[in-house]
Every structure is written in structure tokens, then in C-alpha cells.
């Protein structure tokens, strides 16, 4: 199976432009499974829960997921992408899996990093594995990498490939994901972003890039 990732630098809050660029890049890729970063459509540094809620979307009927489905059908491929999800008054840091037949699944991030806890509700979805024909795939998001149980659960459920949308700022994950793959005998696609954001206080977050397929 031919796989790929998009490593992007979204402009905060410019959802339409960010999605348009991502779709253009997906169309250029010769891959059957494509993984996009965490929160690829909005950017990362929300100033408040209210702001996050204003940019979050319903899944699967929101605009971003609908556009991902359109491209998946057009190219006959599978796409995993991270975006903020609103559901019953709560906000989740989520990723979707879509394919040629439409929406397949959503995963809500279990292990929230740092100030994400002020914005998002911890995920209430299980680590699930889905058969997409040539491979069985599971999803985890960014900071889930630190907890061995996440990858282990997916492996025990039969995953061949772990799709890992990320907004990594710490340097340790790329090497750690090699370990996760070795100890669980699985492949992983980590799609990280690049660039920086300084919307909250004086601190500027710099994203390390270093997306990888292991």
C-alpha cells in the first residue's frame, strides 16, 4: 500500500484557506492513504474555549469533513486528518478517517497536552482499528505517543498502520515512534506541522516538523 503525509503550516483561524491548500496537496500525492496533521484546518493556539468552539465543526457533517470525503471519493483514497470537533456542547481534539465510500470513523484524543486541557474534553472514543482493504489502520493523536498503551491497544486489535496526526513541539516523538513501531510490530505515519504560533501570552510555540513514515 502506498502511503503519504502532508506537513503543513496552517494560518490560524483561516479554515477555508487551510483546507483548500490541504486538498490541493492531497490531489498532488500519489498515495492510497494520506495523513494530515492535528488541527490542520484551524491552527493550534486557541485563546479561549469560546474561540475553539467557534472554529470547531460537527463530524461527520461539518464542512471540513465533507470536503475531505469529496476528495477521498474523487481520488479513491483514504484520508486521516485532525480537526476540532464540537458535539453536545463539548469540544474534542479529534481525527477522522474517510474513504471512497464516505465517513468511516472519528477518534477523540485521549491524552491532552499542557493547556489543551483548558479547551478540550478528554476523548471518550476507544482506540479502534478499521480494515480499509490493503491494511488495517488505527488512529492516535500527537501526545498519545507518550503513553505506550495507545499504540499497544491498536496493535493488539490488529492494526497494520497507526495514523498519527500531530502538532509536535517536543523533540522526542520521532525517535519514540520508532520504538512504538518496533515493540508492537506495526507501521506508523506521523504527520506533523511546521511554523510557529504566538497567540497566547509571550510564549511562541515552534512546531518541529519531522513528519515520518516508520
Please report the pLDDT score of residue 202 as a whole number: 66
Selection from 102, 106, 80 nearest residue 5 by Cα: 80
> Running along the chain, 214 residues long, what does each successive block of 10 average in pLDDT?
98 98 98 99 96 98 98 99 97 99 99 95 98 99 97 99 97 94 98 92 88 98
Selection from 158, 153, 188 nearest residue 173 by Cα: 188
CATH of the domain at 171: 3.60.110.10
Please report the pLDDT score of residue 201 as a whole number: 73
Please report the pLDDT score of residue 161 as a whole number: 99
Please report the pLDDT score of residue 203 as a whole number: 80
Q: What is the pLDDT of residues 42-69, one digit of tens each?
A: 999 999 999 999 999 999 999 999 999 9
Number of domains in the chain: 1
Please report the pLDDT score of residue 178 as a whole number: 97
Q: Distance between CA 167 and CA 84 in Å, rounded?
A: 13
Spatial contact of 33 and 1, defined as CB atoms under 8 Å apart: yes
Q: Where in the sequence numbering do the catalytic residues fall?
A: 38, 109, 142
| pTM as predicted | 0.97
Listed in sequence order, the residues at least 6 apart from 120 whose beta carbon sits closer than 8 Å to its beta carbon are: 52, 84, 91, 92, 93, 109, 112
The residue segments making up the domain with residue 158 are 3-213
Q: Which residues of 123-160 are buried (b: 16+ CB within 10 A; e: fewer)?
A: beeebbbbebeebbbbbbbbbbbeeeebbebbbeeebb
Amino acid at each position: 500500500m502506498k502511503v503519504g503525509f502532508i506537513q503543513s503550516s496552517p494560518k490560524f483561524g483561516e479554515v477555508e484557506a487551510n483546507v483548500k491548500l490541504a486538498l490541493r496537496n492531497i490531489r498532488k500525492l500519489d498515495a492510497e492513504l494520506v495523513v494530515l496533521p492535528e488541527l490542520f484546518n484551524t491552527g493550534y493556539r486557541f485563546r479561549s474555549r469560546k474561540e475553539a468552539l467557534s472554529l470547531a465543526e460537527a463530524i461527520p457533517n461539518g464542512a471540513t469533513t465533507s470536503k475531505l470525503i469529496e476528495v477521498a471519493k474523487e481520488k479513491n483514497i483514504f484520508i486521516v486528518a485532525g480537526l476540532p470537533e464540537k458535539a453536545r456542547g463539548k469540544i474534542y481534539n479529534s481525527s477522522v478517517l474517510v474513504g471512497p465510500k464516505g465517513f468511516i470513523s472519528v477518534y477523540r484524543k485521549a491524552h491532552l497536552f499542557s493547556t489543551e486541557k483548558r479547551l478540550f474534553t478528554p476523548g471518550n472514543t476507544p482506540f479502534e482499528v478499521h480494515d480499509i482493504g490493503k491494511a488495517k489502520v488505527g488512529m492516535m493523536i500527537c501526545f498519545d505517543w507518550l503513553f505506550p498503551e495507545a499504540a499497544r491497544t491498536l496493535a493488539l486489535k490488529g492494526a497494520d498502520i497507526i495514523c498519527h496526526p500531530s502538532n509536535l513541539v517536543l523533540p522526542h516523538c520521532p525517535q519514540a515512534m520508532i520504538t512504538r513501531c518496533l515493540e508492537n510490530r506495526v507501521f506508523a505515519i506521523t504527520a506533523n506541522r511546521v511554523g510557529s504560533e504566538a497567540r497566547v501570552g509571550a510564549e511562541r510555540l515552534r512546531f518541529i516538523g519531522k513528519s515520518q513514515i516508520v
